[in-house]
Amino acid sequence: MMLRRDFLRLSALTPLAALSGRIVAAPRAKSGFVEREADGRPHRFELSAQHFLLDGLPFQIRSGEMHPARIPAEYWSHRIRMAKAMGLNTIAVYLMWNFLESEPGVFDLLGGRRNFVHFIELCRREGMWVYLRPGPYVCAEWDMGGLPPYLLRDPSIRVRTKDDARYMQAVQRYMDAIGPKLAPLMASRGGPILMVQIENEYASFGHDLDYLLRLRAMWQAHGIDGPFSISDGLTQLQQAKTYVSGAALGLDGDTDFVAAQAIAGEAPVWVGEGYPGWLTHWGDPDFQRGDYAATLRQLLAQDRSFNLYVVHGGTNFGFTAGANAHNDYSGFEPVITSYDYGAPINERGAATPDYYAFRALIAARVPHAIPTPPAAPPTITFAEVTATPFASIWDNLPPAKQVGKPDPNEMLFAQDHGMVLYRKTLSTGGMLHIEGLRDYGTVFSAGRYLDYLSRVNKPGLHVTQHVDIPAPANGAGALLDILVDSFGHVGYGQAMYDFKGIVGEVTLDGDALRDWQAHSLPLDDAYIAGLRPLVDKSALRPGLFFKAEVVLDRLGDCYLDMSAWDKGYLWVNGQLLGRYWRIGPQQRLYCPASWFRHGRNELLVLDMHRINAGSIRSSDRLEG
């Protein structure tokens, strides 16, 4: 069965010739649209007879989505201005719950890219309205769709349902933390927020309308009184029947307004997500692109409100990139570090040809001159440097935990990301089989690397799930090591219980292996700061950290080219840029200027396969 994400991708890339016949104009207001900016004064935003009203006058939402969590905070104003200069009047904003609450009850709402209140206030300062999409679930190709992976520490929990009190208590805690900060930002109180999405794409997951009604009531209890919206695929809404009466209906990747209006009655129907580009997975043959100009032209001609997903994508810094999979957990596809998305404003904030094409289309329809786009931030490059072995995973193992079987990271260590080492002494050789490896593992016997196992099935990878273990030398026991690395948790569909590590049996010639040692390797700031350097460099094995130094006399944005490496992670001055992998298509990782410093800069690489020094080059762009 085709996943809706796959279907929407096809819709997003389909020429308008296949779509234009489905764009049908409902009765529109004859007086034109009011062009009014957010100005810090109270405004009345309402859902009227099949269209939106601002202060009693017809209003067209021309929205572009961007996510503060994916954009360096010092560039927030620049990206907002870029969207305004494209002719948009609204910024759509996802809030990622798990980016704000790292542990139960531990919130950071002020640090760096987490200060969403500041981002929303910057939108108002630039005269832009906000369409808020606060979750609790967002999808967004983000780790676990924005839900906190700590939920998986209880293997029996059920998410996105009112019928699991543990989940709903966690949702309540999240809303209690952010609700009081959001209520004063509503348009009715002088803020820029016009409309709030109840939760994202619920019809693609469940069919309990009461769950959405409960969430709406919880937002209302915090003084967030709407208007509200939902956004989903039309087919899913028709089947699940989860339209919330009185809410604006946002169509994701669809333009069949007649069919949608039959669901929404007199409530407005608009394009909740229109796709000028698309997401890219590791192992895709190339970066995904789109062709949305013709569809946008028709939407503008029909006076339709719309939200471009995304106008600017940004970057999945750190461990934040999510993954997709079939509902049976097969077909696992992790998302690359870049969230460039083929968007009109690219990853580093520069305008693309689509940007200028969209800008011209919008400028022809609005009655006022739109601003000149600001220049993109400056870039730098540096001379190629060589990263040499610095430290080893094997010298930096924390104390082991004794376990009967190799359970998932979340349950063993309350660890959401990073690596886990499973270790056991074997007295014989044989065929080692690992059931439920999530997501990538390297296997060693007596310290010697044997092979890798990958949950990802893409060109350039083998997909066997077994490794031949040699018999121990001289009949003595040999240490078996399975080093397991994780990608982001699945963030869409029914495969939301995407435990990491090893989730099934490990067998040798069919016999289950018991009594393991497990070592937690979270790769978090504390672990990286405590690395002990190599002492003996004479017998290196995979699982090495490498260091290089770059000396800069000026700062700017830069892409670091990792095409000489295999699979791993890259830090700049302690900031984790994200993952790289030889299978591409991404080979360059974006580093914002603010993460560099004048003078000496430290590059730290963890590669799962390499044992020799390797080069790191620089570029001013994502693609070569």
Cβ atoms of 151 and 157 closer than 8 Å? yes
Nearest residue to 226 via CA among 173, 276, 256, 183: 183
Q: Which helix (H) or strand (E) is 588 found in, with range?
A: strand 588-591
Contacts of 455 by beta carbon, 8 Å cutoff, 6+ apart: 332, 437, 438, 439, 440
Reply yes or no on whether 37 is catalytic: no
From 101, 201, 347, 410, active-site residue: 201
Both tokens of 184, joined, read: 């004063």
Q: Tokens 């669809």 belong to which residue?
A: 254
Q: Whole-angstrom Cα distance, residue 103 to residue 150?
A: 7
Reply yes or no on whether 384 is catalytic: no
Cβ atoms of 233 and 11 closer than 8 Å? no
Cβ atoms of 162 and 211 closer than 8 Å? yes
Partnered with residue 507 across adjacent β-strands are: 433, 512
Contacts of 616 by beta carbon, 8 Å cutoff, 6+ apart: 384, 385, 386, 387, 548, 560, 561, 562, 564, 603, 605
Q: Which helix (H) or strand (E) is 526 found in, with range?
A: helix 525-529
Q: Which helix (H) or strand (E) is 386 found in, with range?
A: strand 385-392
From 199, 273, 333, 410, active-site residue: 273
Q: Whole-angstrom Cα distance, residue 551 to residue 137?
A: 42
Q: Whole-angstrom Cα distance, residue 249 to residue 261?
A: 8
Q: How many CA atoms lie within 13 A of 563 on its CB side?
A: 13
Q: How many CA atoms lie within 13 A of 582 on its CB side?
A: 11
Catalytic amino acids?
A: 201, 273
